[in-house]
Amino acid sequence: MSGDEVLYERRGAAAVLTIDRPQRRNAIDAAAAAGLRRGLEEFEADEAARVLVLTGAGGEAFCAGADLKAMDLDVDHPGGPLGFTRLTPSKPAIAAIDGWCVAGGLELALWCDLRVATPASVFGCFERRWGVPLIDGGTQRLPRVVGMGRAMEMMLTGRAVEAEEARQIGLVTEVVAPDRHLERALELAERIASFPQETMLSDRRAALEGAGLPIGDGLELEHRLGREVLAVAASGAARFAGGEGRHGRGV
């Protein structure tokens, strides 16, 4: 799938979704939001696509958020103004970030499970400067990723957070060499895709759905989901007992 605003391609086990509006720092207008939704739908429908990699074209920005010049986003869309930010993918997603990742762009990155960034990347709730609210998941996901204290400071001050600080506070999974963000995201995608999928997806679901629950309810959720994949666990244990993976080999 391809379009004027968003590009979709398969790369090994990954589906790469690229915001292709470099002339607008990959800011999202209504057409781009629709393209992101279509890309997610195609990813979900493709069983062979194990991981979604979200990135931006042009080398200057991952995404600068909503296109404030267009002002044509549907704030009431069930998928979210920026496309899919009110949806949860059934499979992992990785943000490959180079350059500006601010305002709604930061919210798109937070939608992903992992974030890989270059040293030139900059993060922040820049919409604070223009009186624009965080309505693409930022108020809910940022505290879950970096903790309430750091999240509140970022949201209230709107300051710029550089890549290394973002790594230190857990906002970024890792900082990689310039121009290597997409390559590294694809490497991580292949590693994730190499594991037994049923248990990996079950653990991911338990973590995501249990994040806001009382500990007892979260443990019950983990128990219920874990029991559903015990056959896969038994198969893996049998392979280990047979000598596979000893001393960390293959890990």
| Pair 228, 156 in one domain | no
Q: Do 133 and 87 fall into the same domain?
A: yes
With respect to residue 222, please indicate whether it lies within any of the assigned structural domains.
yes
52 in the same domain as 100: yes
Q: For the chain, what is the mean pLDDT?
A: 93
Least confident of 44-58, 187-201, 233-247: 233-247
Mean pLDDT of 184-193: 98
pLDDT at 227 over 60: yes
107 carries an active-site annotation: yes
Helical pair 138-146 and 148-157, crossing angle rounded to 10 deg: 130
Residues 141, 222: one domain? no
Residue 31 has pLDDT above 80, yes or no: yes
Q: Is position 127 annotated as part of the catalytic site?
A: yes
pLDDT band (50, 70, 90) for residue 231 = confident
Residue 1 lies in a domain: no
Q: What pLDDT score was predicted for residue 47? A: 94
Length of the chain: 251
Question: How confident is the model at residue 240, as a pLDDT?
Answer: 52
Tell me, yes or no, whether 169 and 230 share the same domain.
no
Cβ within 8 Å of residue 227, ≥6 positions away: none
121-154 pLDDT tens trace: 999 999 999 999 999 999 999 999 999 999 999 9
- Is residue 10 included in any domain, yes or no? yes
pLDDT score of 207: 97
Distance, CA of 183 to CA of 179 (rounded, Å): 8
Complete DSSP assignment for the chain: -B-SSEEEEEETTEEEEEE--GGGTT-B-HHHHHHHHHHHHHHHH-TT--EEEEEESSSSEEE--B-TTT----TT-TT-TTSSTTS--SS-EEEEE-SEEETHHHHHHHHSSEEEE-TT-EEE-GGGGGT----SSHHHHHHHHH-HHHHHHHHHH---EEHHHHHHTTSSSEE--TT-HHHHHHHHHHHHHHS-HHHHHHHHHHHHHHTTS-HHHHHHHHHHHHHTTHHHHHHHHHHHHTTTTGGGTT-
Residue 78 has pLDDT above 60, yes or no: yes
**CATH number for position 157:** 3.90.226.10
- In the set 41, 107, 162, 190, the catalytic residue is 107
CA distances from 177 to 104, 105, 121, 155, 202 (A): 25, 21, 11, 28, 32
Q: Which of 171, 194, 217 is the last residue of a domain?
A: 194
pLDDT tens figures, 96-107: 999 999 999 999
- Split into its structural domains, the chain has a count of 2
Mean pLDDT of 228-248: 63
- 216 and 241 fall within a common domain: yes
Catalytic residue among 5, 60, 127, 174: 127
> Domain span at residue 235?
197-248
CA distance 127 to 116: 22
Q: Hey, which residues does 8 pair with through a beta bridge?
A: 17
| pLDDT reported for residue 1 | 47
The rounded distance, in Å, linking the Cα atoms of 173 and 165 is 11
Helices 197-210 and 230-241 pack at an angle, to 10 degrees, of 130
Q: What is the pLDDT of residue 2?
A: 47
Whether residue 99 sits in one domain with residue 167: yes
pLDDT for residue 17: 98
